[in-house]
Amino acid sequence: MEGEKKKQVTCFLIFSISTVVIGSLQFGYNTGVINAPEQKLLAFFNKTWVERYKEPISQGVSTTIWSFSVAVFSVGGMAGSFSVGIMADTFGRRKSMMLANILALIGAALMGFSLLCKSFEMVIAGRLVIGLFCGLCTGLTPMYVGEVAPTDLRGAFGTLHQLGVVIGILVAQIFGLEALLGTDELWSVLLAVTAIPAVLQCALLPFCPESPRFLLIKLNKEEEAQRALVRLRGTEDVSQDMQEMKEESLKMAMEKKVTIPELFRTSAYRQPLIIAVMLQLSQQLSGINAVFYYSTGIFKSAGVTKPIYATIGAGIVNTVFTVVSLFLVERAGRRTLHLLGLGGMAISALLMTIALLLKEIPSLSYLSIVAVFAFVAMFELGPGPIPWFIVAELFSQGPRPAAMAVAGCSNWTANFIVGISFPKLVDWCHEYVFIIFMVFLILFFIFTFFCVPETKGRTFEEIARSFGGPPLLRLRPQLQRARSRCLLHPARRRSPWWGSRRRPPLPNPAPKLRTYF
């Protein structure tokens, strides 16, 4: 049995997943790359404005153009993520990623030639197009990885998406140094570097197999699916995987294709959809992007002479703890790590608030550095990697693309809201701004504790069946406790909005459960 498990991790599987995760790296790079050249871009906006209109740009207009340049990336991400389901089902997972890279090349070209063409509009358009590409990546990458990875290693491989994101952010921070590409002459090259991984992924994807699940369940190509599995697993005996997919295919044959409106209307999908969206919101409303946005100011107040290097240090911590999560996720489980991460981030947010309030005391000012590093580390243990791949685990093959689209769109929407509102929140709340995120983290901790099931080591069908009602309570003791308290549990549904008023039969002994509630 142990030897069989070792065969599941092959060089070809690692190659295929690594190729797909290049898209995650591009997402991380384009998320972080805009911060370093901020002053260079503002100077470019002013210079272009003077050449066109023969007068300096006003502070208000400059701020508006800059804010739009940053925020339009999230707008593109929302649109891209909402298109994931349609593309994945129409073209397949692999071909969709190849087509998406066309957007990456267009976006890179627009930003790369903006300085030469003296057009800040090209920067904005490039950020919008690259946002569309990244929105597609955030859905297609976890979907493909979840479908090709072995069941018992799905969580570890799923974490690679987040590892690609944080490596991309770190690379962007390093390339953005003035000693490299963060100069007045080279900032456009810095923005256009994203074309290199796009070309690399396009060159490597033809050597990767299409998702066996897509081949068998959507296209009914059993032989091709089996050949792909044999290459991915490194063994001729893939009967267990094939049987699991066939069972899912039989169930799918009795169901019609699930669209996004049907996903919202169907009561069977309502609970996993709410969980998927809440987990995505827990990632963005945790305040992680705000911490990276504000970290330079925090480090300055702590007396760090070159805060940019401290910010890069936070990026390194970000990467290291993503690797730690990769090894822990199959041992500790998704739910446990997510709870640990949310709880640790809430404590770190409180420490950051204390450090900001007492920054005049030299010995306490360095507490802020410790708090930021701890905040980032706890994020990468749970809320960073887990929401991306757990969505693919919560749904069977039919509703999965639509669910990935909705979850991705909710993530990008929350990202956009935080990015737009955080500077205003700092003006209003000053040192108390992280208390807002601490409250969100506590609320998400409570939701996860009571409503999120553990998915470690279970097949897609087992997880999907668990949302059908009371049979879930027989699967795991810890899940029984969490689900029986959850307001989303069928036994607790009272409002017509949640579904039928008629309660399904409770597991025996029914009287005890009723008295417990």
Contacts of 183 by beta carbon, 8 Å cutoff, 6+ apart: 40
CA distance 267 to 255: 14
Q: Contact 16/148 with Cβ under 8 angstroms? A: yes
Residue 216 lies in a domain: no
CA distance 125 to 319: 30
CA distance 409 to 317: 28
- Do 500 and 442 share a structural domain? no
Say how many domains are in the chain: 3
Residue whose C-alpha is closest to residue 407's, from 498, 278, 258:
278
Residue 179 lies in a domain: yes
Reported as a pLDDT band with limits 50, 70 and 90, residue 69 is: confident
- Residue 332: the pLDDT is 82
Helices (H), 182-306: 187-192, 195-204, 212-213, 222-233, 239-253, 260-265, 267-284, 288-301
Domain extent for 383: 255-467
Residue 258: enclosing H or E segment and its boundaries? Answer: none
Residue whose C-alpha is closest to residue 387's, from 448, 473, 316, 459:
448
Phi, psi of 324, rounded to the nearest 5 degrees? -60, -45
Reported as a pLDDT band with limits 50, 70 and 90, residue 502 is: very low
- Do 129 and 57 share a structural domain? yes
Residue 52 lies in a domain: yes
Residue 213 lies in a domain: no
- Do 281 and 195 share a structural domain? no
Residue 314 lies in a domain: yes
- Residue 460: the pLDDT is 65
- Residue 474: the pLDDT is 35
Neighbours of 72 (CB within 10 A): 20
Q: Which residue has the tokens 């456009």?
A: 188
In a 3-state reduction of DSSP, which class is residue 489? Answer: coil
Q: Contact 408/138 with Cβ under 8 angstroms? A: yes
- Do 299 and 159 share a structural domain? no
Cα-Cα-Cα-Cα torsion 358, 361, 364, 368, nearest 10 degrees, comes to: 60
Which residue, of 208, 237, 263, is where some domain finishes? 208
Residue 219 lies in a domain: no
CA distance 104 to 136: 11
- Residue 499: the pLDDT is 42
Neighbours of 498 (CB within 10 A): 16
CA distance 465 to 405: 21
Residue 234 lies in a domain: no
CA distance 286 to 277: 14
Q: Which residue has the tokens 């007068």?
A: 55
Residue whose C-alpha is closest to residue 457's, from 476, 477, 485:
476
DSSP assignment of 445-482 equals HHHHHHHPPP-TT--HHHHHHHTTSGGGGGT-HHHHHH
Q: Please tell me the least confidently modeled range out of 75-84, 107-116, 159-168, 251-260.
A: 251-260
Which residue, of 467, 484, 500, is where some domain finishes? 467
Residue 446 identity (one-letter amino acid): I
Q: Contact 214/249 with Cβ under 8 angstroms? A: no
Task: For residue 206, say if its preceding peptide bond is cis, omega within 30 degrees of 0.
Answer: no
Neighbours of 30 (CB within 10 A): 29
- Do 482 and 453 share a structural domain? no
Residue whose C-alpha is closest to residue 507's, from 455, 469, 468, 452:
469
CA distance 273 to 263: 8
CA distance 37 to 173: 10
- Do 334 and 185 share a structural domain? no
- Do 472 and 460 share a structural domain? no
Whether 17 shows a pLDDT value over 90: the answer reads yes
- Residue 218: the pLDDT is 83
Q: What is the DSSP letter of 217?
A: I
- Do 203 and 271 share a structural domain? no
DSSP assignment of 35-53 equals TTTHHHHHHHHHHHHHHHH
Reported as a pLDDT band with limits 50, 70 and 90, residue 447 is: very high
Q: Kindly report, residue by residue over 453-493, the tens digit of the pLDDT.
A: 887 777 666 776 666 543 333 334 444 454 455 555 544 44
- Do 283 and 401 share a structural domain? yes
- Do 81 and 9 share a structural domain? yes
Reported as a pLDDT band with limits 50, 70 and 90, residue 442 is: very high
Neighbours of 79 (CB within 10 A): 15
Cα-Cα-Cα-Cα torsion 29, 31, 33, 35, nearest 10 degrees, comes to: -160
Q: Which residue has the tokens 């267990």?
A: 240
Residue whose C-alpha is closest to residue 295's, from 407, 173, 213:
173
Whether 203 shows a pLDDT value over 90: the answer reads yes
Reported as a pLDDT band with limits 50, 70 and 90, residue 37 is: confident
CATH assignment of the domain containing 106: 1.20.1250.20
- Residue 168: the pLDDT is 92
CA distance 517 to 510: 11
**Full 3-state SS string of 320-359:** HHHHHHHHHHHHHCHHHHHHHHHHHHHHHHHHHHHHHHCC
Q: What is the DSSP letter of 495?
A: S
- Do 44 and 4 share a structural domain? yes
Q: Which residue has the tokens 């887990």?
A: 386
Reported as a pLDDT band with limits 50, 70 and 90, residue 297 is: low
Residue 221 lies in a domain: no
Q: Kindly report, residue by residue over 232-290, the tens digit of the pLDDT.
A: 888 888 888 888 888 877 776 666 667 788 888 888 888 889 999 999 999 989 988 77
- Do 75 and 30 share a structural domain? yes
Which residue, of 449, 467, 485, is where some domain finishes? 467
